[in-house]
Structure 1
């Protein structure tokens, strides 16, 4: 029964994470920690173990959804690789810090950040604001018959990506909760391209972060092997559903999830 429950949880979190580009860790981790507290069969789900498993799940969620997104032409691979310059080192640093820093001390502030990012997504970008980063590298991508134009400032992208990578390794999240809003608000990415490019980046970041946690002995492999196929299935379903939605709908779902997760983190941090 515990394996079936784990499979269902894995599919649900991977689906949600893939749908809006979050990775799924922000949903998986609190669920497993609650089960650890109230269900004896989940006594193995300690904070370090949960973070490690979460990152493995995110690897396969991101891989399966990224394959689907690339086939649909939603991924800005050039920008994705530029973001990786900062996010991979950040992920390694965050994973290393995880064993020394009690991350629960940061939940209050991290929750507040999620609420702040969700509120920022209510801001409508006007057409005249799109070339705001003229000094950045020009981008153009055609998706669903519409061409989108935006610019990426490489140094700003690296700094933001490093912070996102560090949060990923430290908290066991994909980092999309910060990366997707940043792509939309700062660089002018269309929501669906931001989601797809975020998952592309998250795959590589989580791969390095999960590897670090594995070397530190933070994985329960018998459960990892259950969550891997769940992540693959959920990731595919999430990417498929994303392609059927409008950019505004994706943004609304992202705002809703950020608010819910942010409130939960704030309550946890105040507890």
Structure 2
């Protein structure tokens, strides 16, 4: 890689770090296509992205914890069942055609746009989803369901977990985002171990992206608490809409048998 390539990777890492801190997603949707564009194989791109996301999510979560905005207990209660159920989802994913999975995930993202606001409507009508289960059970169910869907659709779970936390745990969107970023640390560790054993991780590009992400996430985690909840909600829903469009394009390319990710539907740790 020359200096130009290194600079592009660093900028991509910074952008993914900003997304991670603002929206509680890992940034694989940005990093994986970038690495594919650099000529890396899809599986290497996904694996290398997981290393970068581990660095980014760890740095962001430590910063959130230092500012008093992160409970590691909440993270563990969501993260452990997510890691377990993700394996079930990944097993089932291998039995479904990639373009079908992609299209279904695109639909799920659109549904999540509605779920972000659904709790307000339910509470207004006298129904409170968080009262249907104990807090412990609600967290285990949320983490388990997010992990299963993440494994099924080949993502890290950030875009799935945040709406579920809002709906089932009655958490404000900022808290849900900060907790989701912490959970991504756990899922990224799991992903890195698996890809590392398989020898798929490109360490140098991954670290360059990770350092860029570290810089970006420091900015966004500090700025997030200052934003109005309505603006954060709008940003999150807008990101879901853009991601769904991206996923539908990937589904069409996979169906047609072309495109850089046609043979690799996973988009890493979202």
**Range of TM-score over shorter length:** 0.7 to 0.9
Q: 1:255 to 1:208 in 2, by over 3 A?
A: same
2:232 to 247, 250, 255: 250
Relative to structure 1, is the Cα distance of residues 14 and 97 closer, same or farther in structure 2, using a 3 angstrom cutoff? farther
With over 3 angstroms needed to count, the CA separation of the structure-2 counterparts of 1:117 and 1:253, relative to structure 1, is same
Residue ranges of structure 1 left out of the alignment (5+ in a row): 36-41, 139-150
Residues 161 and 117 (structure 1), Cα distance of their counterparts in 2 relative to 1, 3 Å cut: closer
Any residues of structure 2 matched to 1:87-236 within 5 Å, and which? 87-91=82-86, 103-123=98-118, 125=120, 131-138=128-135, 153-167=138-152, 171=154, 173-236=155-218
Paired residues in the alignment total 248
Q: List runs of 5+ in structure 2 lacking aligned partners.
A: 254-270
| Corresponding residue number in structure 1 for 2:35 | 32
1:185-209 CA distance string (max 9 Å, x none): 2221100100111111110111111
Aligned match of 1:69 in 64, 68, 90?
Answer: 64
Per the alignment, do residues 51 and 237 of structure 1 end up closer, same or farther by CA in structure 2, a change over 3 Å counting?
same
Classify 1:195/1:152 alpha carbon distance in 2 versus 1 (closer, same or farther; 3 Å): farther
The residue aligned with 2:25 is 22
Q: CA 1:68–1:222 in structure 2 vs 1: closer, same or farther (change >3 Å)?
A: closer
- The change in CA–CA distance for 1:19 and 1:259 in structure 2 (over 3 A counts) is same
Residue by residue over 1:16-50, the C-alpha shift from the partner in whole angstroms, topping out at 9 and shown as x without a partner, is 122110111122223433x2xxxxxx112x21011
- Contact preservation (8 Å) 1:48, 1:99: no
CA RMSD of aligned residues (A): 2.7
Task: Report the equivalent of 1:142.
Answer: none
Higher relative strand content = 1
TM-score, normalised via structure 2 length: 0.81
Shift of 1:85: 2.4
Per-residue deviation at 1:124? 5.6
Instruction: Report the counterpart of residue 9 of structure 2 in structure 1.
Output: 6
Partners of 2:95 and 2:146 lie apart in 1 by 22
Distance 1:216 1:205 in 2: 17
Query: Does structure 1 conserve the Cα–Cα contact (< 8 Å) formed by 2:82 and 2:143?
Result: yes
